[in-house]
Amino acid sequence: MSGTATSGYPARIIEAVEQLGVAIIGYGLAGAVFHAPLIAAEPRMRVAAVVTGSDERAKQAQAEHPGVRVYASADELFDDPAGIDLIVIASPNNTHADLALRAIDAGLPVVVDKPFAVTSAEAEAVVAAAEQRNVALSVFQNRRWDNDFRTVEHLVNSGELGDVRRFESRFERWRPVPKGTWRDAGSADEGAGILYDLGSHLIDQALTLFGPVSDVYAELDSRRPGIAADDDVFLALTHANGTRSHLWMSAVTPQLGPRFRILGSTNGFTIDGLDPQEADLRAGRRPYDGKPWGATTPENWGTFGAGEIQQKIPTLDGDYPAFYAQMAAAILDGTPVPIDPRDAIETLRIIEQARGA
């Protein structure tokens, strides 16, 4: 399971343009908080267009990105794509594959938010279309640049843990009252539910660290009234290399477990809390504002060691901006995309196995 594509794409010729014009389809939480600020922070990109059917979000986009073109529908964007060099799809999950195919058909590079598609078959069709058209395609798995995950990845790859026997990973929340959004109210067949939402991150991280999976065990539950999809999930993955990954994702956890606990043959590592980048973006902070980005304080560092010999070790800084820096390089310089979309196909196959599809 690779973190980047194995081959580059031909560099696109952007005539008389210093920055790539990026169109974001969808300006809810994903588009406005996770994508737009990171695009705006990348020197070789600018937010050129936004697709939203909400007047309120349209005004928000215009205030946050002066000069941005706002379209009420994706149809309007694809009818008038002048000045657009990259499409970012941050719309509801069940629209991802169709919109990606439309962008590829227009010859435009694409970034698709996770989950890449609702089914692995849809994902395979999108990847095949991009390969046929030789269009750069990637999936937004920003959690590979979380500060705690970067630290775990370093410990695993350096061998400091020995042979990793068990990997525990959690995204747990306490939200006993549903928000009523499509993620809650929609069905799993539409890509709603916590397995598609947070599970896409947890599975991707496990695959990135330990490679292919030979066995999947799943417990899926809908705990809150009126919820159509899952909101409380446990996955146990057996990797081909022998490592076992235990993954928890939940909206109904009154006491949160550690974010990561990794048990190796020589040492273990445990870390609590969450990478600060999401909270900072939600609060309106932006990368490169003169303050440390993705950093955490020593009291939030994780604990490394074995038995009675335990010590706090520094957490590497998080780096969400790296995703769009690598995407700009893929388009302009022909380097590999930041996330190989074929990795997302494997994630979806595991989701399908967990759902019994």
CATH of the domain at 121: 3.40.50.720
What pLDDT sits at residue 17? 46
5: pLDDT confidence band, cut at 50, 70 and 90? Answer: very low
Cα distances from 308 to residues 132, 177, 257, 267, 270, in angstroms, run 56, 42, 22, 11, 14
Decide if pLDDT at 6 tops 50. Answer: no
- Domain-embedded: residue 31: yes
Q: What CA dihedral angle connects 145, 151, 156 and 162, to 10 degrees?
A: -170
What pLDDT sits at residue 188? 83
Indicate if 265 and 297 belong to the same structural domain.
yes
**Amino acid in position 146:** D
Three-class secondary structure of residue 92 per DSSP: coil
Indicate if 312 and 221 belong to the same structural domain.
yes
Please classify residue 16 by burial: count the beta carbons closer than 10 Å to its beta carbon, then call 0-12 exposed, 13-18 middle and 19+ buried.
exposed
Q: How many domains does the chain have?
A: 2
- Domain-embedded: residue 112: yes
- Domain-embedded: residue 341: no
Cis peptide before 115 (omega within 30 of 0): yes
Q: Say which CATH number the domain at 276 has.
A: 3.30.360.10
Indicate if 50 and 118 belong to the same structural domain.
yes
> With DSSP H G I counted as helix, E B as strand and the rest as coil, what are the percentages for the chain, rounded to 5?
35, 25, 40
- Domain-embedded: residue 8: no
Indicate if 65 and 160 belong to the same structural domain.
no
Indicate if 270 and 330 belong to the same structural domain.
no
Strands 260-264 and 268-271: antiparallel
Indicate if 87 and 196 belong to the same structural domain.
no
pTM for the predicted model, two decimal places: 0.93
Q: Give the pLDDT mean for 101-110.
A: 98
Indicate if 81 and 118 belong to the same structural domain.
yes
Contact 340, 2 (CB under 8 A): yes
Percent of the chain with pLDDT over 90: 88
Indicate if 134 and 154 belong to the same structural domain.
no
- Domain-embedded: residue 342: no
Indicate if 153 and 292 belong to the same structural domain.
yes
Residue numbers of the domain that contains 195: 147-317
Indicate if 93 and 170 belong to the same structural domain.
no
Indicate if 36 and 131 belong to the same structural domain.
yes
**Amino acid in position 319:** D
Residues 187-203 pLDDT 10s: 888 888 999 999 999 99
Indicate if 137 and 231 belong to the same structural domain.
no
Query: Backbone dihedral region of 76: left (phi > 0), alpha (psi from -120 to 50 degrees) or beta?
Result: alpha
